[in-house]
Homo-oligomer: A and B are copies of this chain.
Amino acid sequence: MTKAATTFETRLKTTASDVETLLSSLLSDAPLVGEIARPAQLMAAMRHGSLNGGKRLRPFLVVESTLLLGGSAEAALRVGTALECLHCYSLIHDDLPAMDDDDLRRGQPTVHRAFDEATAILAGDSLLTYAFDIIAAPETKLDAAAKMELVLALARAAGPGGMAGGQALDLAAEKQAPDELGVMTLQAMKTGALLRFACEAGAIIAQSSVEDREGLQAFGRTIGLAFQLADDLLDVTSDAATLGKAAGKDAGRGKGTLVALHGVDWAEARLEALTAEAVDLLAPYGKKALILQETARFIAGREN
């Protein structure tokens, strides 16, 4: 293993642990200023759906892109944790019976199985709402202008023109398989938009130049494509035990993926090319970019 890979693994674990600690504290039963009360069952469902030992890749991207550009790591951790709340909301709602109808997530019962459907809907709604609270709260020590840009970029990445819209396209794809452009739009929205935001957030937090922000956006978009391609490849080549969820279900339900359209060999070559492109995009930052470049390699090579 290279030195960069070892450093990457250590830092990924450290950030995951920091996110877990901050999330635990943010999702306590004690109401904040301006809150009336926090229902215990709802908070338990929110914790169940978010404190589940994930890799916390999105917060990691926020933290590392912020460090690359010289911004505050403390603010980045809070923004990353807000993004993780929003990501977890999307998983809770995706798992609902009316959506993907999944019983397991990371080997544990999904929120609607562990609690009930209504509680899962509300826990998702609450995590989504809370993401904006965390960014706007005084504990996130950033200029109001930077917070505002973060709120806007996050809302746009997550809303009807981003992640939620991508999920709607995904539902439509079950009825009629999309063409290649349709698949790419769906993926850019459903998984790409939040990953792009995660990288762009670093440039907003560090109040960097337009060039830096566009560079990080391009990096985020590229690893987003790689992430989805790796996911689709895993779905074909892996088994349920490694994935922690039902494998082969995308193909089984007739959804179009780039792997289905072009085959495994093409997809593997494309994944390699995307990884090289992502690494190149950060070349101007020299050694400071090693960790983010390693993250791009990790995304291409991950096993779940």
Contact = CB atoms under 8 A, between A and B. Distances in A.
27 contacts: A32-B156, A34-B152, A34-B153, A34-B161, A35-B162, A36-B165, A36-B185, A37-B169, A39-B172, A42-B160, A89-B125, A98-B118, A99-B121, A119-B171, A121-B121, A122-B164, A124-B125, A125-B125, A126-B159, A128-B129, A129-B159, A133-B152, A135-B151, A136-B149, A136-B151, A136-B152, A148-B148
A133 to B, nearest CB: 4
Nearest to A174: B118
Interface residues of A, number: 65
Interface in A138-183: 143-145, 147-149, 151-162, 164-169, 171-172
Contacts of A147: 144, 148, 151
Contact of A161 (B36, B99, B119): B36
Nearest to A155: B133
Interface in A5-28: none
Contacts of A148: 136, 144, 147-148, 151
Contacts of A155: 129-130, 132-133, 136
A192 to B, nearest CB: 8
B128 A99 contact: no
B38 A165 contact: yes
A117 interface: yes
A41 interface: yes
A31 interface: yes
A185 B41 contact: no
Interface in A21-62: 31-32, 34-39, 41-43, 46
Contacts of A259: none
Interface string A107-132: 00000000011110110111011101
